[in-house]
Amino acid sequence: MAFRSALTREIAAPAIIESMPNALFVVDMSGKIVIVNPHASKLTRVAGSEMAGRQVTRFIPKAAGLIVEASEHPTLGPIRSETEAALKDGRGGTRPVVLSAMPILDDRGAPIGVTIIATDVSKLKEQVAVNEAQKAELQKTVAQMGKIQERLVGRELRMIELKKEIAKLRKG
């Protein structure tokens, strides 16, 4: 049983880390990157081996606050789930991400690091911008249609008044 448990840990953990669809940064309490997954390398455009040992704040400036929170409140569970941030890449660009973080504790419950998961939301932001533009265009169209309807209703009311006048003239 112990062999199976050890085997599962050694095979499953790397496979899970490698297959995660989000960027994973594991950092020590000084903020140095210990482990990243391939998606983190893809988002930052920097190889994982080049990121190892660097400060995570170089790529995620908001990460400093996550590390402080992990050291101050290690047993409170997830730290700042769903925090929006900017992830910097190796070429000077940025992309919007949503951060989730969890402290890594030793056997005594003391924090020894932080796991930070960055979810790329750039495509979502682009779609929101497209939706907002379409919404504005639809609102403009609705306003124009409202004006046309007002004119048509006004004309219809005028026609009713004219018909009444014609009817009066015919009687009179």
Nearest to 66 by CA among 106, 44, 108, 97: 97
CATH value at residue 49: 3.30.450.20
First and final C-alpha spacing in the chain: 109
Q: By the 8 A CB rule, do 28 and 67 touch?
A: no
Residues 83 and 147 in one domain: no
Quick one: tokens of 156? 């219809």
Identify the band that residue 54 occupies on the pLDDT scale cut at 50, 70 and 90.
very high
Query: What pLDDT was estimated at residue 82?
Result: 59
Residues 22 and 68 in one domain: yes
Q: pTM score, two decimals?
A: 0.68
* Number of domain units in the chain: 2
Cα-based distances in Å from 142 to 14, 133, 145, 153: 54, 14, 5, 16
Query: Can you tell me the distance from the alpha carbon of 58 to that of 171, in angstroms, rounded to the nearest whole number?
Result: 90
pLDDT over 70, % of the chain: 86
Is 46 or 128 the better-scoring residue by pLDDT? 46
Mean pLDDT of the region 162-169: 86
Residues 111 and 134 in one domain: no
Query: What pLDDT was estimated at residue 44?
Result: 93
Query: What pLDDT was estimated at residue 78?
Result: 55
DSSP 26-81: EEETTSBEEEE-HHHHHHHTS-HHHHTTSBGGGT-TTHHHHHHHHHH-TTS-SEEE
pLDDT over 90, % of the chain: 28
Query: What pLDDT was estimated at residue 126?
Result: 83
Residues 152 and 115 in one domain: no
What is the extent of the structural domain holding 101?
Answer: 2-120
Place of tokens 């390398």: 41
Residues 106 and 168 in one domain: no
